[in-house]
């Protein structure tokens, strides 16, 4: 490792998990937080719905409220609780429709006041430095594109999601799954990467960003309607508009194919002042596009939203490499199974960021393989498809490689998957695989994105059943006998 800065702890990522970990680590030593763009630019800041919680005396949300988070309250002063799909009761604390931004604000305020925590922004993490089988720090490219090494006793990946692997996503540009790629290339186990959640209602308007139109709208009574204005969800699921996310996402596509037209969200039957007051961010964004949230029909469709899979960790964020930790969306604790419920990701970041911070202060040790995991190389699996071997690495990056990967993944490994499409994706991504040390920012970006895409496509091809966010047209049924397992993969 080249000489470079040295810290007790380094955290890659400035979302809720990374910041919560920084707060926990500050009393124990010097902490460096690397953020990929501006400090507030993470999936956290884009989270609209809220944070699902049983508001008990000792939970993490109470801590956040004590630190100054302003959640909406009812007239009697009690927290106003929203509802989202597949939740049986109202339990979602929210700050208007910008809950993530509010939580990020509180955490950044706290972190900024901690003398032990330094932050470097516009830092693109490129590699985990491994020495004698242990994580020894991170190599990253600074804002000028120069490679830098930072050495640390414990390294936390808190890089968030990977929605940008797909052409259409609700995630910000920074969400390219960097932590998954870094961990994989360092030799850590990754798990469950076939489980990608597609949010049903991203704005779907040519030329406009795929802005998230929160599920909380349906929790307040918004309806999905077809081009004739007919509500249609009960035709697909008894829970109607609040059916599980994967069901709603697929139903929108099917309804659109059935009718030959777009699908819309409508709130026109609700009180207009209430709608605009409850969802001010969404209303303002739509207003810029000439749409009135309270009156107009809003065109919507699915977009990649959340990764259930990620870096395989124990419940304290330990990975299979001693000294390397992961928390938040980048990690796969198994917490969300194959299909996360709404408003559990901010909560996950808070809880597992804090847990990782505690574990990072202990003597480093690798997490052992959990009993419910099987290796992708065939042991314990009767899978068809990829055989889990490690193909020879070759490099053939095109200038438009990133765009091509995102298009490919949307077409072949998106909401509806089948063998032919997934084989096409795997073959194309195998040809892009690159195990060399990335020498430039562009190479690091491409390598991170195409590594994650390849892992998703391989995992989706391997799992010959449908479950949660993973839907195979050629294997539409769930198959507990063969597939009630978490499948893990390593590069080594």
Active site residues: 245
Strands 5-12 and 117-120 turn out to be: unpaired
Give the whole-angstrom CA distance, residue 471 versus residue 26: 43
Supply φ then ψ for residue 83, to 5 degrees.
-125, 145
- Our CB check for ligand SIN shows the closer of 214 and 319 to be 214
Does 345 engage in binding with ligand SIN (CB under 6 A)?
yes
Which one of 216, 267, 304, 452 is in contact with ligand SIN (CB under 6 A)?
216
Only one of the segments 18-26, 294-302, 337-345, 445-453 lies at the binding site for ligand SIN (rule: CB under 6 A); that segment is 337-345
Only one of the segments 152-160, 208-216, 266-274, 467-475 lies at the binding site for ligand SIN (rule: CB under 6 A); that segment is 208-216
Does 200 engage in binding with ligand SIN (CB under 6 A)?
no
Does 342 engage in binding with ligand SIN (CB under 6 A)?
yes
305-324 positions binding ligand SIN, by CB under 6 A: 306
Give the whole-angstrom CA distance, residue 237 versus residue 341: 17
**If you search the block for the tokens 């209430």, which residue do you land on?**
274
Does 215 engage in binding with ligand SIN (CB under 6 A)?
yes
- Our CB check for ligand SIN shows the closer of 263 and 324 to be 263
- Our CB check for ligand SIN shows the closer of 178 and 329 to be 329
Does 164 engage in binding with ligand SIN (CB under 6 A)?
no
Shortest separation between residue 49's beta carbon and ligand SIN, angstroms: 3
Are 16 and 349 in contact by the 8 Å Cβ rule? The answer is yes
- Our CB check for ligand SIN shows the closer of 39 and 161 to be 161
Shortest separation between residue 76's beta carbon and ligand SIN, angstroms: 25
Does 339 engage in binding with ligand SIN (CB under 6 A)?
no
Does 219 engage in binding with ligand SIN (CB under 6 A)?
no
Supply φ then ψ for residue 350, to 5 degrees.
-65, -50
Are 446 and 459 in contact by the 8 Å Cβ rule? The answer is no
Which one of 18, 49, 161, 301 is in contact with ligand SIN (CB under 6 A)?
49
Does 44 engage in binding with ligand SIN (CB under 6 A)?
no
Site string for ligand SIN, 410-449 (x = CB under 6 A): ----------------------------------------
Structure tokens at 490: 């390593």
Shortest separation between residue 124's beta carbon and ligand SIN, angstroms: 26
Closest CA to 214 of 282, 166, 268, 266: 282
Does 171 engage in binding with ligand SIN (CB under 6 A)?
no
* Residue 155 half-sphere exposure toward CB, CA atoms < 13 A: 33
Only one of the segments 61-69, 214-222, 273-281, 375-383 lies at the binding site for ligand SIN (rule: CB under 6 A); that segment is 214-222
Shortest separation between residue 54's beta carbon and ligand SIN, angstroms: 16
Does 126 engage in binding with ligand SIN (CB under 6 A)?
no
Shortest separation between residue 84's beta carbon and ligand SIN, angstroms: 6
Does 138 engage in binding with ligand SIN (CB under 6 A)?
no
Does 160 engage in binding with ligand SIN (CB under 6 A)?
no
Q: How buried is 161 (Cβ within 10 angstroms: 0-12 exposed, 13-18 middle, 19+ buried)?
A: buried
Shortest separation between residue 77's beta carbon and ligand SIN, angstroms: 25
Only one of the segments 185-193, 210-218, 256-264, 320-328 lies at the binding site for ligand SIN (rule: CB under 6 A); that segment is 210-218
Does 214 engage in binding with ligand SIN (CB under 6 A)?
yes
Q: How buried is 51 (Cβ within 10 angstroms: 0-12 exposed, 13-18 middle, 19+ buried)?
A: buried
Entry field: residues in the chain: 492
Number of residues that bind ligand SIN (CB under 6 A): 10
- Our CB check for ligand SIN shows the closer of 89 and 382 to be 89
Give the whole-angstrom CA distance, residue 1 versus residue 149: 7
Does 162 engage in binding with ligand SIN (CB under 6 A)?
no
Only one of the segments 2-10, 72-80, 207-215, 435-443 lies at the binding site for ligand SIN (rule: CB under 6 A); that segment is 207-215
Closest residue to ligand SIN, judged by C-beta, is 49
Shortest separation between residue 305's beta carbon and ligand SIN, angstroms: 6
- Our CB check for ligand SIN shows the closer of 7 and 306 to be 306
Residues that bind ligand SIN (CB under 6 A): 48-49, 212, 214-216, 306, 342-343, 345
């Amino acid at each position: 490792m080249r000489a470079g800065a040295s810290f007790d702890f380094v955290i890659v990522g400035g979302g809720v998990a990374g910041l919560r970990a920084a707060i926990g680590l500050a009393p124990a030593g010097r902490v460096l937080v690397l953020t990929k763009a501006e400090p507030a630019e993470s999936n956290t800041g884009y989270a609209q719905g809220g944070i699902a919680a049983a508001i008990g005396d000792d939970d993490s949300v109470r801590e956040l409220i004590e630190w100054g988070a302003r959640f909406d309250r009812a007239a009697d002063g009690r927290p106003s609780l929203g509802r989202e799909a597949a939740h049986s009761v109202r339990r979602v604390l929210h700050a208007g429709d910008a809950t993530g931004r509010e939580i990020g604000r509180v955490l950044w305020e706290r972190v900024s006041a901690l003398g032990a925590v330094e932050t470097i922004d516009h830092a693109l993490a490129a590699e985990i430095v491994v020495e004698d089988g242990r994580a020894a720090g991170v190599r990253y490219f600074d804002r000028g594109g120069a490679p830098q090494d930072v050495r640390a006793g414990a390294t936390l990946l808190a890089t968030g999601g990977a929605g940008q692997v797909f052409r259409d996503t609700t995630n910000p540009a920074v969400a390219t799954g960097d932590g998954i790629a870094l961990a994989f290339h360092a030799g850590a186990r990754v798990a469950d990467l076939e489980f990608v959640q597609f949010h049903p209602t991203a704005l779907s308007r040519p030329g406009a960003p795929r802005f998230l139109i929160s599920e909380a709208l349906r929790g307040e009574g918004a309806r999905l309607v077809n081009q004739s204005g007919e509500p249609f969800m009960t035709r697909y699921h008894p829970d109607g508009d609040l059916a599980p996310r994967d069901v709603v996402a697929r139903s929108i596509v099917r309804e659109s194919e059935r009718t030959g037209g777009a699908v819309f969200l409508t709130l026109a039957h609700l009180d207009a002042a209430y709608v605009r007051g409850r969802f001010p961010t969404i209303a303002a964004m739509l207003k810029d596009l000439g749409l009135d949230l309270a009156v107009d029909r809003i065109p919507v469709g699915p977009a990649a939203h959340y990764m259930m899979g990620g870096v395989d960790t124990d419940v304290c964020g330990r990975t299979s490499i001693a000294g390397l930790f992961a928390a938040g969306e980048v990690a796969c604790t198994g917490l969300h199974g194959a299909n996360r419920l709404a408003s559990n990701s901010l909560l996950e970041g808070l809880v597992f960021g804090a847990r990782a911070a505690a574990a990072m202060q202990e003597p480093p040790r690798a997490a052992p393989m959990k009993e419910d995991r099987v290796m992708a190389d065939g042991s314990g699996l009767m899978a068809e498809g990829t055989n889990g071997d490690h193909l020879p690495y070759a490099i053939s990056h095109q200038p438009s490689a990133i765009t091509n990967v995102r298009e490919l993944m949307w077409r072949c490994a998106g909401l509806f998957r089948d063998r032919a499409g997934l084989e096409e994706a795997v073959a194309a991504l195998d040809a892009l695989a690159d195990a060399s040390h990335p020498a430039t920012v562009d190479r690091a970006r491409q390598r991170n994105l195409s590594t994650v895409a390849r892992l998703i496509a391989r995992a989706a091809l391997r799992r010959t059943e449908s479950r949660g966010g993973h839907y195979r047209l050629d294997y539409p049924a769930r198959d507990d006998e063969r597939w009630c397992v978490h499948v893990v993969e390593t590069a080594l």
